[in-house]
A and B are shown apart, each in its own frame.
Chain A
Amino acid sequence: MKEFYLGVDVGSVSSNFVLIDSDKKVYKKLYLRTIGQPIKVMKEGMAKLKESCPEDTKILGVGATGSGRQLASIMVGADIVKNEITAHAVASLDYCPDVKTVLEIGGQDSKIIILRDGVVYDFAMNTVCAAGTGSFLDRQAGRLNIPIEEFGAYALRSTAPVRIAGRCAVFAESDMIHKQQTGQSLEDIINGLCQSLVRNYLNNLAKGKQIETPIIFQGGVAANVGIVKAFETELNAKIIVPENYDVMGAVGAAILAKEEVEKKGYTTFCGFDMINHDFRARSIECGGCPNICEVVEILDDDKVLARWGDRCGKWSNTIVDKEKTAVKEKLEKLTKEKILVG
């Protein structure tokens, strides 16, 4: 029988699923586009996982992360729900135990994590601006009519990079158009864009932080060799891109799930059956006070699984109580079984 831990990372652009075995080796990874439909992509991902695994596969624990982690955790019954920063740090520590810096650029956010002696020492996430993240590169690739997969290769062929303003996505775009009109080669413009994004990242996120080697670069954008090269020149250091760079968040979630389950001794995973359930999200506008919160309700057929989005807790708390009793019941059942067995 195969036994795995599942990690789910529902992000703004991609949703990733990873199965790791008890040695934390990645057995299976899935990279899907979220396209704004997290519920659908969750079901699709789980269905694909089920298909690709042998019949007697057993999931020992599940971890969820990413901006859609709450939703994901409700749908699969996650044992642990963690923020992206911790998940990414855990995964990169597992890949390279003495890593000192993690650069992560995803679909809509970018982060830098500084680690010392195997501990997160400092971190930063982009605040108000998404310039230099995957979505922007995606858009520019689309505009230049180049598949995003080849974007980096173009940059490497450049001979004389042009300088592009990387401070703001809007300015970068108009700058690029201007450079195109003056007849600069596509390769040079793309290389200039890669360099400006790296500059922007280092100036904004890494401001005042000491970037020491080993440096790991992960997240979807790490696939772009042009960006990797630009980082290497700018930092004058070797950049390590792990094999599973695009699903590191999910790997971290799976590792965290493994630890959590080993600690508590059971899993809350609700099985692959969930792919047959009809999950729906419904939003309610609460009129209880002038805050007019938009409360989101997640339904499994007609059963309310979760509610969130309210400031006061009027809606979300009713569910939390139910959750607590459910866990308690499960625990009691487990202990009873154990007593019976013993």
Chain B
Amino acid sequence: MKIGIPRALLYYQYYRVWKTFFTTLGAEVVLSDKTTKDILDNGVVATVNDACLPLKVFHGAVINLIGKVDYIFIPRLKSVAKGEYICPKFCGLPDMVRYSVKNLPPIIDTEVNIRKKPRQLYKAFLSAGLYITKDKNLIKLAYHKALFENALFIEKLEKGNALLDVLANKKSTNKKGELTVAVLGHKYNVYDQYVNMNLFENLTKNNVSVITAENISDKICNDYAAKLPKKVFWSFARKLIGAANHLAKENIVDGVIYIMSFGCGIDSFVADICERTLRKNKTPFFLMMIDEHSGQGGFNTRLEAFLDMIKWRRKDDLDISPYGERVYIGKDAI
């Protein structure tokens, strides 16, 4: 039996979990292709007009799987942590897809809602597992295996490995560059190389090493988030705001790039809080807004200017001119 997983949205967070679970049950997991113009175009046509870019990519990825699989796995995620929510679009995702995409194979749309009772998580896995096998013991085993795999995944990330490398089971390609920049944002915006317009490659080419929120431990992020005057009740926002606070306090990066998709309700708060936090600490901050019509040219200009600015500012820190002359004239400036 072939289970299709769209390479979009929370694939970047939970792929290891889902893959381990389904393969332990004896199913074969099929991933959709990496995002391309084709996939995005299909998604744009299929999705309701007002949806955000990541949702459009998701629809495209689902269309990409049609004809290749027996089931498509689209969980209905309501809450993935106790007392917290995630974006409401995830709650309605299976329905959205069902009504927008034609000729769909059956969808496995198990509901995950552990806002009140974390134990509900097993129930979600059980209902998904029953599509494949009747053997409840096997499902339980697969569930535990999946959670274990998730813990390993998180541990690897917190050791500083790049998420895409870990997902692809590759050795870490992180090199220490001349500058270090943190890239923040929702995972499906940050890690989709098509959506982010090859940001990572671009940065590496400019001799910049990258860290992301996933490289900062949950504990650190939670500690910082807990210090805020009010509880952050979006799960992914908590991580991001915690990470921004950590980066501002510890001064471990030269700048922060925040990737936000146009029209994201959660990011309209989170990006702003991150920006204020980092600016207060004088960390260079750059908000990159992406949408389906984003042009590479304008993006490159901004990125180039941002990196110039960081280098320029950093140089200034070490080389303060005493008489108000410009200080950027130097052998390695700009």
Contacts and interface: CB of A to CB of B under 8 A. Distances in A.
A292 B326 contact: no
Given A83-B304, A120-B309, A98 B329 contact: no
B265 interface: no
Interface stretch (A121-129, A160-168, A297-305): A121-129
Nearest to A262: B329
Nearest to B316: A119
B313 interface: yes
A119 B38 contact: no
B325 A97 contact: yes
B284 interface: yes
Interface string A106-147: 000100000001111111010110000000000000000000
A120 B308 contact: yes
A117 B316 contact: yes
- The contact size tier of chain B is 35 or more
A97 B291 contact: no
Contacts of B297: 67
Nearest to A86: B308
Nearest to A259: B329
Nearest to A121: B313
Interface in B38-53: 38-39
Contacts of B331: 263
B36 interface: yes
Interface in B286-316: 289, 291, 297-298, 300-302, 304-306, 308-309, 312-313, 315-316
A86 B312 CA distance: 10
A86 B305 contact: yes
Interface string B271-284: 00001100100001
Contacts of B325: 97, 118
A128 B321 contact: no
Contacts of A259: 329
A127 B301 CA distance: 12
B324 interface: yes
B326 A85 contact: no
Contacts of B334: 82, 86, 256
Given A128-B291, A256-B334, A263-B331, A84 B301 contact: yes
Given A85-B301, A86-B334, A291-B37, 9 more contacts: A85-B302, A93-B326, A117-B316, A117-B320, A118-B327, A125-B301, A125-B305, A208-B275, A291-B194
Interface of A: 67, 82-86, 90, 93-94, 97-98, 109, 117-123, 125, 127-128, 208, 256, 259, 263, 289-293, 311
9 contacts: A82-B304, A83-B305, A83-B308, A86-B304, A118-B324, A120-B313, A121-B313, A122-B309, A291-B37
